[in-house]
Amino acid sequence: MKLTLKDGTVFEGKSFGAPVSASGEVVFNTGMVGYVESLSDPSYAGQIIVLSYPLVGNYGVPERKYFESDKIQAAGLIVADYSENYSHQLACESLSEWLKRSGVPAITGVDTRALAKKLREHGVMLGIIDARPVNAVRRRLTASAFVDPNKENLVARVSIKKPETYGNGATTIVIVDCGMKENILRSLVRPEITIVRVPWDYDFANEPHDALVISNGPGDPNMCGNTIENLKRAMLMPKPILGICLGTQLLALAAGGSTYKLKYGHRSQNQPCVDQETGRCYITSQNHGYAVDAKSLPHDWAVWFTNANDGSVEGIKHKSKAWRAVQFHPEAAPGPTDTAWIFDEFIRSISI
Amino acid sequence: MTTIKKVLLLGSGGLKIGQAGEFDYSGTQAIKALKEEGIRVILINPNIATVQTDSPAQGTDAKSENVADVVYLLPLTLPFAVQVIKKEKPDAILLGFGGQTALNLGLELEEKGILSKYKVQVLGTPVSVIRETEDRDMFIKRLQKIDVKTARSFAARNISDAKKAATKIGYPVMLRAGFALGGLGSGVVRTEKELVAKLSEIFGSSPQVLIEEDLCGWKEVEYEIVRDRTDNCISVCNMENIDPMGIHTGESMVVAPSQTLTNEEYHRLREIAIKTIRHLGVVGECNIQYALHPKTGDYRVIEVNARLSRSSALASKATGYPLAFIAAKLAMGFTLPQLKNSVTKSTTACFEPALDYIVLKMPRWDLTKFENAITQIGTEMKSVGEVMAIGRSFEEVLQKAIRMLSIGADGFVAHKNGNFRVANYLDEIKHPTTRRIFAIAEALRRGTSVSKISRLSGGIDPWFLEKMKNIMRCSRNLRRSDLPGRSDLLREDMLEAKKLGFSDIQIATLIKSTEDKIRQERMRHKILPVIKQIDTLAGEFPAKTNYLYVTYNGTENDIGRTKKSMIVLGSGPYCIGSSVEFDWSCVQALKTLSKNEYETIMINSNPETVSTDYDMSSRLYFEELSLERVLDIYQFEKARGVVISTGGQIPNNLALPLHKRGVRIMGTKPEDIDRAEDRHTFSKLLDRLEIDQPEWVELTTHKEAAIAAARIGYPVLVRPSYVLSGSAMSVAHDETSLLRFLKRAVDISTEHPVVISKFIENAREIEIDGVASRGKLIIYAITEHVENAGTHSGDATVVLPPQRTYMETIRRAKHITKDVVKELKITGPFNIQFIAKDNHLQVIECNVRSSRSFPFVSKATGYNFIDIATRAMLGKDVSGDYRTLELDYIAVKSPQFSYARIKGADPVSNVEMASTGEVACFGDTFSEALIKSMLASGFRLPRPKRRRLPYKSRRSRSEVGIPTKASGNILISLGKEENKIKLLSALQELAKMNFKLFATEHTADFMRENGIACEKVYKIGGKEPNVGTLIEKGKVDLIINIPAQAFGRDAIDGYIIRRKAVDLNIPLITNRQLAEAFIMAFAGIKASELKSISVDAYT
């Protein structure tokens, strides 16, 4: 089995997932743990994940309740050294079994460092995992075979279809699910809170709520016109808003700012983000290909966090209202839990 | 942070088990970090073989050379530290860079009010925090406050308290007898009934028992945490021990990052670590150890080390994150976001490295050097060194690491001649020994299931074992592919083997071919390894890193070749006989090469070194020092040459094999090196030059050996042809001992015949370390051993310049040296060892490489011998007028032993080397240098009884470590008449000093006959007063026990006395010459004569 990049580069390896072909945007992630969480993260919809950490599959796959959504969202997986034997108390199947069951192709035996460097230098690229037998008569892949997932509304694909309610507290938070990782839900669920999770384009104006969360999600934020319009309306009221990842970009767009595509995105668990007010640096988990343009922010908005490595915007906040958003993942899963306090602070801001 | 201008840095002293070269790394990085800020650095460390004790070269300054401004080679004890503080008046002190030794001294300085008195600020983690992490009870209480779980432990002195404690913890509990030797009486009990039974046994021999929560079988996981003063806190690395709880992390195989932890476990423990460290208030670097339950995921914090440690050195090398450097900056007051990632040079230091490779650390033991030593491993550290392998599959790093150990193993499987087979493999898995990894291989070979091995081993995760099984499977396939008449392999079979870490030798062994043939085959198939960078960010950002490893699990090189480069081969793992001194030599060679405009390439596998700091060379290959790997790198880099003479015996042994394959070896020609290595040719060479040598014969059978020994005359020295630090050497006093020893020697080395030579008694040993250029002697230093010949040169107390050697002998030694140098056409470093008896000189050994005494002679004479040697190898003119004989001071080097860690070993000097490190001190007189040097190696002076001293003199004595408290007892036990007679005058001196002398039976009789008052003590177990009770009551300040047969084994009583001395931490002297030198020095010294003078003030 092999991976062909749009520029013609080919990486060969052995298949350990479903024996099918797949096309997608090839991105790399440098996290050393968390393949279960990443694969089930809807933000990876349409993407072929390359893991730079070579040894993958070691602790198998646990049952559904530990996932970030109900299935593998990524289009494919590329690793260096898949571990057929796994060992963990919580594991109930191997990564290979899960991939096969989910119809997702995967390749092992690839020099993922070389691949990651290629993507770093060239920027993310489209690619195809080719499952056709090697010795079969093969036609060259034409440019049209490379499908750009960002041209599709991925958010619509991964969002829930109708609202769902969790908990029974006095305070109601509406989460706009643009492809939400379930750990956001787990991080917000508390006795005093009711959560109403609504589809990405759902008009929540009529849904009684005390605060709003815009979740993470895949692809280009400009594809979510409906969400942006809904947000603009919501911002006529002063209710607290928390944006996460794609949610940050959507909030920025709704506020009048703009976004751009990063060359190769941030997908890792070691991104240092500095709180502009306190100077404190947090290690964060990230998975995004687009970012907010700091210069485009309206004057009543400020940059909250910046990335200590490349200076990009990692969080924004309104100067007077309780509207905040972070480009990273305070819910972690996978990754460090340093910024979990953002949820606590958000909930406190509701009661104020 | 700007107010600090002068900082006192405490080193860690001589290398010993549990505290090795990693502190040269951390101290050296701290110095760099301080010098970068223009701070003046004062260092106290008697370890002369370290890079950190380097002074600026002539004509340069401390800042450009990144070395300390003032170096004190002094004991790391309160009195000397006080003197230095008084004199230097530092603004601040760093305690976290010199291991437990520095930490303890720092705590003492604080406790005694010295730091506040002289207004010395403690940088980094506050002393109160250090105390909290060191005191078990305080630590547990502190962590309870933030609901962090610690392993529960209670001490009990009676059965009812013990029962209560056990109920509180919940069965099963672990029992540990307090104050017991070698974990005696420890074990797990499951019920109260079992507890009571076990307790009655324990209380018979120990007053106290520790009842602890049983954590055996839990996973052992460590995190390295960095925190700054503004509470930024990161986890630089996590590591998982392959051997679960119950085996000391220094004895475990360790992988980084963790392999069997899920995201949730990894980040939960990380979160707890950060919470704990913030709560404690560490500033700088620390290590936190966990036990993690494999089934429930429950955890316990085992301990926090609020200082740089062995683990942090490992983490630093594993990730490329310069922990010690950053810790020093944070101690100065910087914050993490203010600092840059020095690998990428563009990103911040406030991040957590992402690895895109796996690292495996493996301990190196050397217990076979000790007779009676217990080879079981457990909760105490016994390993003397370690290696670190980097790769992109577990199988690859495991096999690499095993080879890196340099113990003759070719990997996990497929050893030559069927070596490393373990007969009682199941037993050695269950009761782990230093050979457990080979026992596991054996079990897998014999088809034992992974689950059984995991269970027997007490919880090695099956994931690791499955990977090991992959190696076994591949080795079987290769063997099967060995079809008759066919020595080639299919490309994919070979590639698979290489990806699983098989060396060419292993493949050759499996398919009955040769290493060279496999290499050719490999080239034909174009199976070449690739070179990858360690960049701390897994490729996410471009990094100009020069930190490299080699792997077969990849398709692309990260880098191109160098333009004009020179390779220096490192020393490999620390072991007895090859220690930090070779790392020092390698670092000096790198420095000189780079000054001469070469790009330098370092190859080494030892994470506890300065040579493997990424900024010491233009390129660092953290790799195997094997023929295969060095050739791979040499051919890739197209290097101009390879320096093999600074890293000790491992690179030295590669000289000829590399040369034969077309590699340019710098310095002396490999054929000439081999002429010195090969006993036959060297002996003939000496004969031709009319240089005397002890008579020797080479034999292949026991019978021949016995006949030859009888002819030469006992005692004889027995050894195999090629030796590394006296390994498998011994002195036989009669046929019985000869045959007993031969049995062992032949077992150790089947390929090499046994050499028997005359053992010359009562002879002195002198050594010449020197540098030559094209067969001409350029510079040399002559040193003399205090102990007579027979004590391994690595264990001897060495003096420079010689004190007892006649000028005529020195002249003769120099002549011989010139002849040998000329004959071997030496260019570069060398060392010659002589035996001198009655002004008659015999050559016993010549090493055409740097020796372990090169840092000593370099620092004592003020000439950097390796710098000169390296320039000589580059063909530079190095001639000059080097004055090394007439010094205005004396330098003494003492061995540092680790007997306390090696249970059962007999602490007596021998032809086999036993010391793990060395220290050296300078003095105006021999006595001063000797006493300081002995103190620096951990010796304590006995306290004289009722000594009437004027008040002032008393005070000054106490200030240099001679206690004034009157209670001193000395036990003397001298085997053999000769020892008694020769020590008589020294004993008379001792008698004048108001000590209470105790002596064993014959010694007491002899002393009384000669008018020396003493109390007689009887044999152990004999009538009272007997030796055993005297020692155990802790009433002895010093034991002088000289065995009857020097360098042989004597009666069991002597062994018990010596062993008890070690176990009860009583100063011990077992060598007659050292005893004599010590007594004479001690009797003659005045307190004011133990001065604290810096190295530069002497030289």
For residue range B653-681, what is the model confidence (pLDDT) as tens digits?
999 999 999 999 999 999 999 999 988 89
Residue type, A236: L
Residue B728: predicted pLDDT? 65
Omega cis (within 30) before A334: yes
Q: Where are the beta strands (DSSP E) in B650-790?
A: 696-699, 716-720, 730-732, 754-758, 764-773, 776-788
Is A329 an annotated catalytic residue? Answer: yes
With vertex at residue B894, the alpha carbon angle to CA B892 and CA B895, rounded to the nearest 5 degrees, is: 160
- Residue B25 pLDDT greater than 90, yes or no: yes
Q: Which strands, in side-by-side order, build the sheet including B299-305?
A: B299-305, B284-292, B219-227, B233-241, B254-256, B358-364, B385-391
Residue B746: predicted pLDDT? 47
Q: What average pLDDT does range B844-868 have in this prediction?
A: 96
Any CB–CB contact under 8 A between A275 and chain B? Answer: no
With vertex at residue A253, the alpha carbon angle to CA A252 and CA A256, rounded to the nearest 5 degrees, is: 90
Residue bearing the bigger pLDDT, B884 or B870: B870
Residue B968: predicted pLDDT? 85
How far is the first Cα of chain A from the last one, in angstroms, to the nearest whole number? Answer: 57
CB-based burial label for B749 (10 Å; 0-12, 13-18, 19+): middle
Q: CA distances (Å), A170 to each of A242, B94, B1075, in order?
A: 19, 55, 84
Residue B1051: predicted pLDDT? 65
Cβ atoms B1068, B907 nearer than 8 A = yes
Bridge partners of B291?
A: B220, B300
Residue A186: its chain B contacts at CB < 8 A?
none
CB-based burial label for B1056 (10 Å; 0-12, 13-18, 19+): middle
CA distance B240 to chain A (A): 13
The ranges of chain A annotated as CATH 3.40.50.880 are 155-351
Residue B263: its chain A contacts at CB < 8 A?
33-34, 36-37, 333-335
Residue B262: its chain A contacts at CB < 8 A?
33, 36, 59, 62, 88, 90
CB within 8 Å of chain B, chain A residues 319-348:
332-338
DSSP secondary structure letter of residue B120: P
Q: Give dist(CA B909, CA B915) in Å, integer.
A: 9
Q: What is the CATH number of domain A2-152?
A: 3.50.30.20
Q: What average pLDDT does range B137-165 have in this prediction?
A: 90
Question: Which range has the worst mean pLDDT, B417-426, B809-818, B1001-1010?
Answer: B417-426
Residue B723: predicted pLDDT? 43
Q: What is the dihedral of CA A40, A44, A50, A53, to 10 degrees?
A: -50
Is A245 an annotated catalytic residue? Answer: yes
Residue type, B529: P
Model confidence at B370, in pLDDT bands (50, 70, 90)? confident
Model confidence at B828, in pLDDT bands (50, 70, 90)? very high
Q: Give dist(CA B913, CA B928) in Å, integer.
A: 26
CB within 8 Å of chain A, chain B residues 391-410:
392-394
| CATH code 3.40.50.880 for A155-351 | yes
C-beta atoms of A113 and B538 within 8 A: yes
Percent of chain B with pLDDT over 70: 93
Residue A132: predicted pLDDT? 82
Q: Give dist(CA B728, CA B719) in Å, integer.
A: 6
What residue in A sits closest to B347 (Cα-Cα)?
Answer: A309
C-beta atoms of A53 and B355 within 8 A: yes
Residue B482: predicted pLDDT? 57
Residue B351: its chain A contacts at CB < 8 A?
270-272, 283, 308-309
Q: Where do the domains of chain B lie, and which CATH numbers do they carry?
A: 6-123 (3.40.50.20), 134-146+216-355 (3.30.470.20), 153-213 (3.30.1490.20), 365-383+395-514 (1.10.1030.10), 531-666 (3.40.50.20), 677-691+762-887 (3.30.470.20), 696-758 (3.30.1490.20), 940-1089 (3.40.50.1380)
What residue in B sits closest to A89 (Cα-Cα)?
Answer: B295
Query: What is the CB-side half-sphere exposure of residue B449 using CA atoms within 13 A?
Result: 3
Model confidence at B1065, in pLDDT bands (50, 70, 90)? confident
Question: What phi and psi values does residue A320 have, to the nearest 5 degrees?
Answer: -125, -25
C-beta atoms of B230 and A280 within 8 A: yes
C-beta atoms of B295 and A89 within 8 A: yes
Model confidence at B18, in pLDDT bands (50, 70, 90)? confident
Q: Is the overall model pTM greater than 0.80, yes or no?
A: yes
Q: What average pLDDT does range B105-129 have in this prediction?
A: 96
Q: What average pLDDT does range B816-841 have in this prediction?
A: 96
- Residue B749 pLDDT greater than 50, yes or no: no
In order, the DSSP letters of B947-1012 are ----HHHHHHHHHTT----S--EEEEEE-SHHHHHHHHHHHHHHHTTTPEEEEEHHHHHHHHHTT-
C-beta atoms of B267 and A332 within 8 A: yes
Residue A258: predicted pLDDT? 97
The two tokens of residue A179 are 């492809």
Residue B473: predicted pLDDT? 96
Q: Give dist(CA A160, CA A178) in Å, integer.
A: 8
The two tokens of residue B529 are 């390894």
The two tokens of residue B238 are 């996590």
The two tokens of residue A329 are 């993942």
Residue B201: predicted pLDDT? 73
- Residue B956 pLDDT greater than 70, yes or no: no
C-beta atoms of A36 and B393 within 8 A: no
C-beta atoms of A85 and B262 within 8 A: no
Catalytic: which of A245, A266, A273, A314?
A: A245
Omega cis (within 30) before B337: no
- Residue B997 pLDDT greater than 60, yes or no: yes
Cβ atoms B322, B336 nearer than 8 A = no
Which has the closest alpha carbon to B999: B970, B1021, B1033?
B970
Residue B116: predicted pLDDT? 97
Any CB–CB contact under 8 A between A90 and chain B? Answer: yes
Q: Give dist(CA B997, CA B1016) in Å, integer.
A: 9
Residue B949: predicted pLDDT? 45
What are the mean pLDDT values of chain A's consecutive 10-residue runs (352 residues total)? Answer: 94 96 96 98 97 98 97 98 97 98 98 96 94 68 84 95 95 97 96 96 92 96 96 95 98 97 94 95 96 97 96 97 97 96 96 72
Residue A333: its chain B contacts at CB < 8 A?
263-264
Any CB–CB contact under 8 A between A54 and chain B? Answer: yes
Residue A276: its chain B contacts at CB < 8 A?
none
- Residue B1049 pLDDT greater than 80, yes or no: no
In order, the DSSP letters of B273-324 are HHHHHHHHT--EEEEEEEEE-TTT--EEEEEEE-S--HHHHHHHHHH---HH
Percent of chain B with pLDDT over 90: 71
Cβ atoms B844, B693 nearer than 8 A = yes
B241-287 per-position pLDDT tens digit: 999 998 989 999 999 999 999 999 999 999 999 999 999 999 999 99
B780-799 per-position pLDDT tens digit: 999 999 999 889 999 999 99
The ranges of chain A annotated as CATH 3.50.30.20 are 2-152
Model confidence at B1087, in pLDDT bands (50, 70, 90)? confident
B390-425 per-position pLDDT tens digit: 999 999 999 999 999 999 999 999 998 778 889 999
What is chain B's mean pLDDT, rounded? 90
CA distance A51 to chain B (A): 9
C-beta atoms of B232 and A280 within 8 A: yes
Residue A138: predicted pLDDT? 60
Omega cis (within 30) before B801: yes
Any CB–CB contact under 8 A between A85 and chain B? Answer: yes
Residue bearing the bigger pLDDT, A180 or B724: A180
CB-based burial label for A61 (10 Å; 0-12, 13-18, 19+): buried
Cβ atoms B357, B381 nearer than 8 A = no
CA distance B418 to chain A (A): 29
Any CB–CB contact under 8 A between B347 and chain A? Answer: yes
